[in-house]
Amino acid sequence: MNILGYINDDAQRDEDTKVERVSIGRVHFGILYLLDTDAKEVKPNKESTIVVAKKLSELEELCLTSGVEAEEWSRIALQPLKKYFNYV
């Protein structure tokens, strides 16, 4: 397991609309880690857990495309992931 960083997003205001918003970062602190495995299939132990796998290029497109609302934690995680994978 590789810890890539921490996510602490205390933002409380959407600067574009000046509207107060509830930010997950106001009540949560995140750890961004990468787990290497040679398994051919990875799935959660709970049926209620939703897992969506994306290629790094797809995540970047979601985070950087205007009009798409990627959650802030995904945007924050993008740079450490790009650095880890030497993605230019």
- Contact (Cβ atoms closer than 8 angstroms) between residue 10 and residue 24: no
Summarised one tens digit per residue, pLDDT across range 5-18 is 998 887 655 555 55
Summarised one tens digit per residue, pLDDT across range 9-56 is 876 555 555 555 556 666 788 899 998 889 888 888 888 877 777 889
CA–CA gap between residue 46 and residue 28 (Å, rounded): 22
